[in-house]
Amino acid sequence: MSANTKFDFQGLDHVALGCSDMKRTHDFYHGVLGMPVLHSIEYMGTAESGEQVPMGQHFFFGVGGDNPNAHIAFFYWKDGYQNAPDEKDGGPPPGVNPRAIKVGAMHHLNLRVAQDRIQEYCATLATEGVPYQHVTRYADPVWREVRTKDDYVPPEPGCLMDSVYFDDPDGIHLELNAWLPAWDTWPNDHQPWSRDEK
């Protein structure tokens, strides 16, 4: 087997999926299968009234092995897009959070890389003619993301994760990701939401 001379992948980091009920998903992966909850995130959105309201959750279930951060990631969105008819090319229905995905649909496939090489990998993607988006994430004082298209912006102090997103020729969404030390301080204590809750 020949070595990869372009990208030094450090293994599969996670697969991100959509679920219809985070509490039910939590009870299965954590309760039945015993996977630890490594981290959890709650997303806020703006209601028609302009008020900030809870919109979605993201839970990270650890799968063990040599990589302590390897996990299955699940997204849950409260707006009901999960139950909408399948629209292959149409995306989310009107009025639905644009980040929502369907139940069971793969959101993205994540490959772990070293953070000090992400800028190099962005340059490689650009050379190969592959459009990409560079994203850094922060949690202090509130959750925020810095997104740049076809450009690399170095992480600021306190960055939790450094990521590059791009698509394969069939539209499969890929992520190259490095977890920074601040990520270890991110909590895992959110209560999972049930789709029956409003």
Half-sphere exposure of 16 (CA within 13 A, CB side): 19
pLDDT of amino acid 139: 84
Least confident of 64-68, 132-136, 144-148, 157-161: 64-68
Question: CA–CA separation, 95 vs 112, rounded Å?
Answer: 34
Token pair recorded at residue 107: 């959101």
Q: Higher confidence at residue 174 or residue 120?
A: 120
Pairing between β-strand 133-138 and β-strand 52-62 as defined by DSSP bridges:
unpaired
Q: pTM above 0.85?
A: no
Give the mean pLDDT of 139-154: 90
**Average pLDDT of the segment spanning 50-63:** 87
pLDDT at 182 over 50: yes
Q: What's the pLDDT score for residue 1?
A: 58
Please report which confidence band the pLDDT of residue 84 belongs to, taking 50, 70 and 90 as the band edges.
very low
* Nearest CA-CA partner of 75 in 35, 110, 106: 106
Q: Is the pLDDT of residue 120 over 90?
A: yes
DSSP string covering 89-148: TT-SPTTS-TT---TT-EEEEEEE--GGGHHHHHHHHHHTT---EEEEEE-SSS-EEEEE
Instruction: Please state the rounded mean pLDDT for residues 68-79.
Output: 82
